């Protein structure tokens, strides 16, 4: 087992990123933050149904990892999936429309918050059964290896998924077959109200999970987008070039909001939340950019205004989008080769209707 830490101050891969790339990451984090704030509001207004899990606080993980990987690398995650979809470039309109259950949504209103998919952007889904995406991620990596493609799969999971059998079987399969996959634990310390120390053996040092499968381990500060970028850029390139097999990454992060929209948060103190908010990934990048003169405060403010406008536009788009024709849409997409009462469906308009659908 090798331990890679991103604290190597000497030379960081992110040092070579130009201001435009850095501002790109910043604006993505802002877009996710503002999008999620609008989600919360729309949820309160009962525009959004079901469960809704916000990504606020964890933005650096999706944005930094996606930036460090290649656009064609498949990613797959849990139900806390809005950030990953937006980081991959899904237009917020289609994301918000999905939350509103509209036919213009990324999954035509049939998936909802926990089931975002974006095929052109190689986003293989939000998956709502804890740990259930891990074997699927291994399958994506298996296919990459089978087809001899120079790609890497990133499989995101919550710390709670560490306690699922599916996760352990997946780690074992990835290790014995040396598959091109990065398992990324978005370790926000909690699965709902259960602190990781109460639910996970070896919680104080998750490298033991990698050791158990003879797998490479990395730890990174998930509140620092550049640290996440460094970690994924390094690992992605190492796997792609055959210098590394699968890797297990402990990305330490924090969710500021409740587990879902109905969480009184009795299990943690306000102080604890504040401590992490002080390390906010967006502020951190803003400060570093402004202090080093790579961006002005005005530039940064303008990006944030853009993010706010975009989120508001997304709500407007979702509001104005049509409801599906219930009888018509209900029976489509059940089968690719339908029979009996089932019908072929049309692809989501995200894929067909505009340049937004084009893969990056």
Ligand X SMILES: Cc1ncc(C[n+]2csc(CCOP(=O)(O)OP(=O)(O)O)c2C)c(N)n1
90 makes contact with other proteins (CB under 8 A):
no
Query: Which residues contact residue 249 at a Cβ distance below 8 angstroms, ignoring those fewer than 6 apart?
Result: 182, 183, 184, 185, 217, 218, 219, 220, 231, 232, 235
Of 166, 185, 218, 227, the residue at the interface with other proteins (CB under 8 A) is: 166
Select the span of 115-123, 198-206, 234-242, 303-311 touching other proteins (CB under 8 A): 115-123
Instruction: Give the shortest CB-9-to-other proteins separation in angstroms.
Output: 38
Q: Which residue is nearest to Mg ion (CB)?
A: 158
Distance CA 25, CA 198 (A): 34
Q: Among all residues, whose Cβ is closest to ligand X?
A: 158
Residues 151-170 that bind ligand X (CB under 6 A): 158-161
Give the residue carrying structure tokens 């089968």: 335
Q: Give the residue, chosen from 23, 25, 32, 128, that forms a contact with ligand X under the rule CB under 6 A.
A: 128
Q: Does 129 interact with ligand X (rule: CB under 6 A)?
A: yes
Q: Which positions from 6 to 25 touch other proteins by CB under 8 A, shown as an x/- string?
A: --------------------
Residues 177-206 that bind ligand X (CB under 6 A): 186, 188, 190-192
CB closer to Mg ion out of 81 and 159: 159
Largest CA distance in the chain: 65
Restricted to residues 68-127, the positions that interact with ligand X (CB under 6 A) are: 78, 80
Q: Build a one-symbol-per-residue string for 276-315: x at contacts with other proteins by CB under 8 A, - elsewhere.
A: ----------------------------------------
Q: Which does 336 bind (CB under 5 to 8 A by kind): ligand X, Mg ion, other proteins, none?
A: other proteins
What are the two backbone dihedrals, phi and then psi, of residue 334, each rounded to the nearest 5 degrees? Answer: -80, -40
- CA distances, 121 to each of 62, 64, 100, 208 (Å): 14, 16, 22, 33
253 and 188 in contact (C-beta within 8 Å)? Answer: yes
CB of 73 to ligand X, least distance (A): 21
Smallest separation, CB 267 to other proteins (Å): 27
Structure tokens given for 38: 């609008």
Tokens (6 digits) for 94: 């289609």
Output 346 or 354, the one with its CB closest to other proteins.
Answer: 346
Shortest distance, position 29 Cβ to ligand X, whole Å? 17
The residue among 57 and 126 lying less far from other proteins, judged by its C-beta, is 126
Binding Mg ion by CB under 5 A: which of 6, 65, 133, 188?
188
**Pattern 267-286, binding to ligand X, x per CB under 6 A?**
--------------------
Q: Which is nearer to ligand X, 78 or 107 (CB)?
A: 78
Q: Which residues in this chain contact ligand X in the complex, by CB under 6 A? A: 78, 80, 128-130, 158-161, 186, 188, 190-192, 259
């Amino acid at each position: 087992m090798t331990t890679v830490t991103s604290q190597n101050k000497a030379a960081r891969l992110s040092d070579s990123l130009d201001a435009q790339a850095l501002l790109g990451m910043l604006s993505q984090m802002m877009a996710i933050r503002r999008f999620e704030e609008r989600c919360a509001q729309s949820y309160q207004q009962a525009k959004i149904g079901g469960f809704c899990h916000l990504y606020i606080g964890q933005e650096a993980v999706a944005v930094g990892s996606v930036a460090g990987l290649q656009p064609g690398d498949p990613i797959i995650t849990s139900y806390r999936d809005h950030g990953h979809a937006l980081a991959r470039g899904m237009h917020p309109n289609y994301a918000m429309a999905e939350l509103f259950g509209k036919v213009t949504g990324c999954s035509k209103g049939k998936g909802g918050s926990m089931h975002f998919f974006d095929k052109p952007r190689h986003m293989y889904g939000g998956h709502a059964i804890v740990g259930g995406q891990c074997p699927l991620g291994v399958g994506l990596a298996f296919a990459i290896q089978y087809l001899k493609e120079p790609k890497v799969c990133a499989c995101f999971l919550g710390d709670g998924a560490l306690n699922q059998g599916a996760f352990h079987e997946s780690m074992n399969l990835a290790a014995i077959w040396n598959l091109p996959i990065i398992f990324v634990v978005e370790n926000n310390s909690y699965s709902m109200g259960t602190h990781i120390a109460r639910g996970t053996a070896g919680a104080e040092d998750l490298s033991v999970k990698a050791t158990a499968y003879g797998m490479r381990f990395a730890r990174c500060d998930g509140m620092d987008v550049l640290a996440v970028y460094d970690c994924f850029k390094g690992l992605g390139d190492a796997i792609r070039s055959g210098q590394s097999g699968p890797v297990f990454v402990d990305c330490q992060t924090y969710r500021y909001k409740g587990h879902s929209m109905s969480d009184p948060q009795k299990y943690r103190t306000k102080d604890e939340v504040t401590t992490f908010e002080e390390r906010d990934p967006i502020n951190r990048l803003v400060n570093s950019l402004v202090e080093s003169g790579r961006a002005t405060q005005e530039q940064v403010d303008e990006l944030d205004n853009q993010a706010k406008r975009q989120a508001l536009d997304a709500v407007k788009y979702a509001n104005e989008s049509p409801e599906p024709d219930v009888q018509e849409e209900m029976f489509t997409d059940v089968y690719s080769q339908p029979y009996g009462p089932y019908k072929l469906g049309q692809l989501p308009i995200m894929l067909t209707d505009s340049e937004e659908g084009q893969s990056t």
